[in-house]
Amino acid sequence: MKLKYTILYVDDVEATLVFYERAFGLERGMLHPSGDYGELATGATTLSFSSRRLMRELGKAPAAPDAKAPTFEIAFETGDVPAAYARAVAAGARPVQEPREEPWGQTTSYVADADGYLVEICSPVTPQA
């Protein structure tokens, strides 16, 4: 088996795609003609979005995300965490944690996306000295 995609439930799929394109520089993979499903090209595993409306039609009851009490996070790795963090905030992401150096040798920062999902912006983990 392989991990194919992660789907986040949002109110407006197209607006969410636009946000991720602007905030994180990601490219759109596709938007279904219905507007209820879309994907970002993120490598072997796709970051996808489905409308909450569609999920309710399918008998699901998606909960609203809460960046202060997350059940998971999305992480984007970059060589320039401060610049990526600033870009995300300028595009409308809500600051959660400014970039900082962690004891395990990684730079991390956090924002909440336009829908309230927690997003980590981090450097690669480096081996300890």
pLDDT digits (tens, 9 = 90+) for 79-92: 999 999 999 999 99
Domains identified in the chain, total number = 2
If we measure between CA atoms, which residue out of 68, 65, 78 comes closest to residue 107?
78
Residue 129 pLDDT? 42
Q: Does residue 81 lie within any of the structural domains?
A: yes
Task: Give the pair of three-digit tokens for residue 2.
Answer: 């392989």
| pTM exceeds cut of 0.95 | no
37 forms beta bridges with 50
Q: Does residue 63 lie within any of the structural domains?
A: no
Domain with 22 in it: 5-57
Q: Does residue 69 lie within any of the structural domains?
A: no
Q: Specify the residue for token string 């986040």.
A: 8
Q: Does residue 68 lie within any of the structural domains?
A: no
If we measure between CA atoms, which residue out of 40, 41, 42, 121 comes closest to residue 86?
121
Q: Does residue 31 lie within any of the structural domains?
A: yes
Q: Which residues of the chain have pLDDT under 70?
A: 128-129
Residue 128 pLDDT? 63
